[in-house]
Amino acid sequence: MKALLLSAGYGTRLYPYTKNNPKCLLKINNKPLLDYWINALFFSGIEEIIINTHYLSKKIEDFVASSRFYKKIKVVNEKELLGTAGTIRANVNYFNNSDFFVAHSDNLCICDFKSFLKAHSARPKQTNITMMTFFSDQPKSCGIIEVNKENILTDFKEKPHFPTHNLANAAVYIMDKKVLDFCKNIRSKTADISYDIIPKFIDKIYTWHNTSYNRDIGTLDSYKKAKLEIKRKSSLIRNFGVFK
């Protein structure tokens, strides 16, 4: 399976840290966020990774060039931001009509990705996407979801003003060919997974819950929290192959 790591954003809420660095290269415990993803995904059986860039793209290109996995990573620069679903649409041919993994590389996600991949393989037949979920301590900043007894998505609200609970979308997915076909037909110049894909696949999204660790590194506060929290997660990092 191939993976897409979404890495094109500006990270304006993390200024001044992002003045000279893209968000995906901010360091947690002296290692860039992108490094966590690359190591964990290849350890878990992902075969190739494509990374989209825009802001400070040369820094991401240089980082990938220095990686021991550089031969298995493709970097694509977006001269204009395409949106998360727009990036999938622009790289449809890369996935060869096969299931593919998608994640925001500016999140810090520590979990058993092998189990996540297995869950997708064993998902209910009527579903086309497997979405990772977690319990958020900031539900107003997340996509809040409802699931049924089969853990299939029945409702989704992106960044609700008055969330009723904190079961949230971790913005980590595995998608199948039907999603690729859907993306081909999105007409808007920019398109977003949360607004243009998920609402169209309600009742067709299976969910898998991350009980280990997930945090969106989207604000200065969340960045500070992640740097403190990860110090207590060293055993998880070793167990899930982040840095072997």
What CATH number has the domain bearing residue 58? Answer: 3.90.550.10
Q: How remote is the C-alpha of 180 from its chain's centroid?
A: 17
Paired tokens of 97: 């009509």
Question: What does the pLDDT read at residue 210?
Answer: 97
Average pLDDT, the chain: 94
pLDDT, average across residues 112-128 = 97
* Gap between the Cα atoms of 217 and 132, Å rounded: 17
Angle at which helices 113-121 and 33-43 cross, to 10° = 50
Per-residue model confidence as pLDDT tens digits over 54-71: 999 999 999 999 999 999
**Residue showing tokens 């999938």:** 88
Give a yes or no: residue 229 inside a domain: yes
**Residue 186 CB contacts under 8 Å (≥ 6 apart), including other chains:** 85, 86, 89, 196
Tokens 């998920």 -> residue: 198
CA distance 180 to 171: 17
By residue range, what is the domain housing residue 16?
Answer: 2-135+173-239
> Per the structure block, which two tokens stand in for 86?
């727009």
| CA 62 – CA 176 distance, rounded (Å) | 31
The verdict on residue 164 lying in a domain is: no
Nearest in space to 68 (alpha carbons), one of 43, 91, 95: 43
Predicted confidence at residue 232, as pLDDT, reads 77
Q: Is residue 17 part of a domain?
A: yes
Residue 220 burial (CB count, 10 A): 13
Do the domain assignments include residue 145? no
pLDDT at 80 over 90: yes
Q: How many domains does the chain have?
A: 1
Under 8 Å between Cβ of 242 and 110: yes
Say what the pLDDT of residue 244 is. Answer: 52
What is the distance of C-alpha 132 from the center of its chain? Answer: 9
The answer to whether 94 and 2 are in contact (CB under 8 A) is yes
Select from 78, 26, 34 the least CA-distant residue to 52. Answer: 78
Give the count of beta carbons closer than 10 Å to the beta carbon of residue 1: 17
Asked whether the CA dihedral 92, 94, 99, 101 is positive or negative, the reply is negative
Higher pLDDT, 81 or 230: 81
Flag whether 244 is in a domain: no
Q: Is 80 a member of any domain?
A: yes
**Domain annotation covers residue 235:** yes
Residue at 33 is within a domain: yes
Angle at 142 between CA 85 and CA 217, to 5 degrees: 85
- How confident is the model over 127-152, as pLDDT tens digits? 999 999 999 999 999 999 999 999 99
